[in-house]
Structure 1
Amino acid sequence: MVGLVAMADDAQTDLPADPSAPWLELAPHYERARAREDSLDRLVEWPAQRHLLGDITGCSVLDVGCGNGGKLAELVGDGATASVGVDLSGNFLNDPLPGLEFIRGDLSELDSLPGLAGRRFDRILFLQSFGYAKDPVRTLQAARAMLADDGFILLTRTQPIRYAVERSEQNGTSLGEEYFSTAPFSYLSGWNDQITLTKRAYTISDLLNEFGAAGLWVETALEPQLPEDARLRYPHKQAWMNKYLGILIFKLRPLPSQ
Structure 2
Amino acid sequence: MSTDQQRQAKNDDAWLSLAADYERARAREDSLDRLVEWPAQRAALGDVSGLSVLDIGCGDGSKLAELVRAGAVDSVGIDVRDDLLSDPPSGMTLARGDISSLSEVSEIRGRRFDRILFLQSFGYAADPVVTLQAARRLLTDDGFILLTRTQPVRYALDRAEQNGTSLGEEYFASGSHSYSTGWNDQVALTKRTYTMSDLLNTFSDAGLRIERTWEPQLSPADAERYPHKAAWMNAYLGILIFRLRPLP
Q: Report TM bin, short chain.
A: over 0.9
1:86 aligns with 2:75: no
Q: Is the 8 A contact 2:123 2:191 kept in 1?
A: yes
Question: Could you state the TM-score of these two structures normalised by the residue count of structure 1?
Answer: 0.92
Q: 1:59 aligns with which of 31, 45, 51?
A: 51
Partner of 2:114: 122
Q: Is the 8 A contact 2:4 2:127 kept in 1?
A: no
Q: 2:172 aligns with which of 177, 180, 184?
A: 180
CA distance in 1 between partners of 2:172 and 2:17 (Å): 31
Q: 2:126 aligns with which of 125, 134, 154?
A: 134
Partner of 2:97: 105
The runs of at least 4 consecutive aligned structure 1 residues that moved more than 4 Å come to 12-15
CA distance in 1 between partners of 2:50 and 2:8 (Å): 39
- Secondary structure in structure 1 of the residue aligned to 2:230: helix
- Of structures 1 and 2, the one scoring higher in RCO (CA 8 A, sep 6+) is 1
What letter corresponds to residue 49 of structure 1 in structure 2?
Q
Give the drift of 1:145.
0.2
- Secondary structure in structure 1 of the residue aligned to 2:13: coil
Give the drift of 1:90.
2.1
Cα–Cα, structure 1 residues 58 and 188, in superposed 2: closer, same or farther, change >3 Å? same
What letter corresponds to residue 126 of structure 1 in structure 2?
F
Give the drift of 1:193.
1.1
Residue correspondences, number = 245
1:27 aligns with 2:15: no
RMSD: 1.4
What's the % identity of the aligned pairs? 65
CA distance in 2 between partners of 1:114 and 1:57 (Å): 25
Deviation string, structure 1 residues 25-48 (Cα, Å, up to 9, x no partner): 111110110010100001100011
Q: 1:235 aligns with which of 198, 203, 227?
A: 227
What letter corresponds to residue 172 of structure 2 in structure 1?
F
Partner of 2:212: 220
Partner of 1:158: 150
Cα–Cα, structure 1 residues 81 and 14, in superposed 2: closer, same or farther, change >3 Å? closer
Q: Which runs of 5+ in 1 are unaligned?
A: 1-11
Q: Which runs of 5+ in 2 are unaligned?
A: none
Q: 1:96 aligns with which of 72, 88, 94?
A: 88
Q: 1:248 aligns with which of 240, 243, 246?
A: 240
